Amino acid sequence: MQKIIVDLGERSYPIFIGSELLAQSHLIPMNINEGRVVIVTNTVVSPLYLEKAKSFFSDRSCSQVVLQDGESFKTLETINVIYKFLLEGKYDRKTTLVALGGGVVGDITGFVAATYLRGIDFVQVPTTLLSQVDSSVGGKTGVNHELGKNMIGAFYQPRCVIADTSVLSTLPQRELKAGFAEVLKYGLINDLDFFEWLDSNSSELLQKEPALMTSVIKRSCEIKAEIVAKDEREAGARALLNFGHTFGHAIEAAMGFGNVLHGEAVAMGMVMAADLSLRVGWISSSEAFRVRQVLENNFQLNIVPPDKISVEQFLEFMASDKKTENNILKFILLHAVGDAGISSEIPINLLRATLGAGSSLCED
Ligand code: NAD
Ligand code: GLY
């Protein structure tokens, strides 16, 4: 088992990574309250892992809320369903919520934990690759609004993250590939060696080779933990973790939440960001092409944004991005593969060229 600490002073917490961790109930953090536990999960994950998770917390009174599955349920209406369950059950401040599921369940549960009775403990038990490498770590919680992705939320850290790699055995291949988009992000923004290692091992990784999966999750969490420890509330460096997301969030919103997976939209967005990096002169065409090639060929990700999203629609959705300040949209671009930076004041003609490039993204 691997253990990484997210170092945030008194709110520091461990991330445990390894196989069959849900069979190891001694991992329950000492610093969570001794009150009742409520597991929040969904209709897909509960038949697979709810009983295991309940036995993990068998030393406490444990109940569950089972949500509908999918990004389209990441809404304030769903939050209200959980509030109602907790209030009707008279759950008090010593309650601990457990998010058992992918990033959707994790983001929803974290937001309820942040706001119910002004804040109660929560634990992340991520069950998708994407949630194990990204969304369960760092304390971003929240839901979508029809006018924008993740627009309602809070920074609120879990007490612990338990990333049991065994649960990935049931993860559909499409979801696995979407998770690799966020893994590749860490290489692209921060670690050329990691990107090259991913490039060389892509076929074994797409077959979920267990030792490699643990290494991937560990390295991804290390990079995220280091950035979050420096900049928990995204005043600076944490914005680099949003590489590809300004474009990706617009794609998710324009296509209707749930139709393009988050990781799929991020993959398209990262290729668009590489294309824009090329247009502003930060990277060479061979570097931009390499980004496209590794995502498209090695990790079998679709990197072409849906052509039904017009340039004007892109601009409209991107205008409400959380990185917009004084109407100036900031972009995370590449100085090189493995080194990202924050740019503002992108000439609008270059941005429009990227938004309208379609399948010619990153091509000479
Ligand atoms: P998801 O939560 O929708 O899970 C994907 C699908 O896999 C769902 O149908 C889910 O029920 C199913 N599933 C989960 N675990 C499974 C398993 N072990 N076996 C079989 N099926 C399983 O999607 P996701 O990709 O995990 O997360 C995407 C969400 O995460 C988005 O809402 C995104 O905005 C958010 N996100 C948040 C952060 C953050 O920092 N908070 C970071 C990245 C992404
Ligand atoms: N997924 C981006 C972040 O956590 O900051």
How far apart, in whole angstroms, are the C-alpha atoms of residue 264 and residue 306?
11
**CATH number for position 107:** 3.40.50.1970
The percentage of the chain sitting over the pLDDT mark of 90, rounded to a whole number, equals 88
Q: Choosing from 140, 149, 218, 292, which is the catalytic residue? A: 140
Q: How many CA atoms lie within 13 A of 24 on its CB side?
A: 14
53 and 158 co-located in one domain? yes
The 10s digit of each residue's pLDDT in 116-170 is 999 999 999 999 999 999 999 999 999 999 888 899 999 999 999 999 999 999 9
166 and 180 co-located in one domain? no
Tokens of 14: 């461990």
101 and 151 co-located in one domain? yes
**CATH number for position 265:** 1.20.1090.10
- Residue pair 345/351 in contact by the 8 Å Cβ criterion: no
45 and 86 co-located in one domain? yes
Q: Choosing from 71, 175, 232, 234, which is the catalytic residue? A: 234
Which ranges of 231-336 would DSSP assign to H, the alpha helix?
245-255, 262-279, 285-293, 311-319
92 and 217 co-located in one domain? no
Is 118 a residue of the active site? yes
Q: pLDDT band at residue 107, thresholds of 50, 70 and 90?
A: very high
CB-based contacts of 277, cutoff 8 Å, min separation 6: 283, 288, 333, 334, 335
192 and 325 co-located in one domain? yes
Cα(211) to ligand 2 centroid in Å equals 25
Which ranges of 116-209 would DSSP assign to H, the alpha helix?
129-130, 173-190, 192-200, 202-206
Which amino acid is located at 332 in the chain? I
Residue 364, pLDDT score:
64
For ligand 2, whether the C-beta of 105 sits within 6 Å is: no
Residue 58, pLDDT score:
86
Q: pLDDT band at residue 27, thresholds of 50, 70 and 90?
A: confident
Distances (CA, A) of 51 to 23, 47, 82: 11, 8, 20
Which amino acid is located at 147 in the chain? L
Q: Domain ends where: 170, 190, 223? A: 170
Is 238 a residue of the active site? yes
147 and 17 co-located in one domain? yes
**Structural domains in the chain (count):** 2
Does residue 63 surpass a pLDDT of 70? yes
The 10s digit of each residue's pLDDT in 239-270 is 999 999 999 999 999 999 889 999 999 999 99
pTM (2 d.p.): 0.96
Pocket test for ligand 2, best of 242, 246, 252, 321 (most atoms within 8 A of CB): 242
Q: Domain ends where: 140, 170, 200? A: 170
How far apart, in whole angstroms, are the C-alpha atoms of residue 246 and residue 251?
9
The 10s digit of each residue's pLDDT in 301-317 is 999 999 999 999 999 99
Residue 262 belongs to domain spanning: 173-360
Q: Choosing from 177, 185, 218, 245, which is the catalytic residue? A: 245
Distances (CA, A) of 141 to 23, 51, 150: 27, 25, 8
Least confident of 10-19, 25-34, 269-278: 25-34
The percentage of the chain sitting over the pLDDT mark of 70, rounded to a whole number, equals 98
81 and 118 co-located in one domain? yes
Q: Domain ends where: 119, 146, 170? A: 170
How far apart, in whole angstroms, are the C-alpha atoms of residue 237 and residue 222?
15
